[in-house]
Every structure is written in C-alpha cells, then in structure tokens.
C-alpha cells in the first residue's frame, strides 16, 4: 500500500471532555499527517486527515481506542478531499 490518502473520521462515544482532540493532533502529527480535528455539536469528534496511506491506516486504528478516558462506541471513515494549505493538524472550533 503506498501513496497518499485523505479521510474524514467521525468518532462517537465518550470522546468529548477527555482530551480527544489534543490526543488526535499529537498522534497524527507524530505520524506525519496534516488536517483538522474538532468537536461536533452532536457530541462526536470529526478529524479530516491526509498523508501517507500507511500512516492514515495506522491513525484510523489508533482512533478506535483514543486517549485514556475515552470510550469509542463507533468510528466512521470516509474518503475526503485533502485539506487545503494545512501544516500539521489544526484544532478547529466546534461545529
């Protein structure tokens, strides 16, 4: 598996108030990914991440567990357009 991949990951469960966004930023950047992460009004966390396909796959698997304190009930992944002009992973306001 090679090349670049860009995905949207929506994580549901106990994922707000447990440091999920900061954890996602740190882990994704350590894997060389770029993108955004934010809380959503429905209580989920949305991450749009892009980078080497192997790193994206590893990040998806990491998101199934999340940081200590998180309880992931569901994780939905869909292919997405790459983020424009992003360096690192930006934490965005809740939407």
Q: Which residues are catalytic?
A: 21, 39
Distance, in Å, from the CA atom of 38 to the CA atom of 15, rounded to the nearest integer, reads: 11
């Amino acid at each position: 598996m090679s090349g670049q991949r860009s995905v949207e990951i929506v994580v549901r469960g106990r994922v707000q108030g447990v440091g999920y966004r900061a954890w996602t930023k740190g882990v994704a950047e350590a894997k060389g990914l770029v993108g955004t992460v934010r809380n959503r009004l429905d209580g989920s966390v949305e991450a749009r991440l892009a980078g080497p396909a192997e790193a994206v796959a590893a990040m998806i698997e990491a998101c199934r567990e999340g940081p200590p304190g998180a309880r992931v009930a569901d994780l939905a992944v869909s292919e997405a357009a790459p983020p424009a002009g992003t360096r690192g992973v930006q934490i965005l306001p809740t939407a």
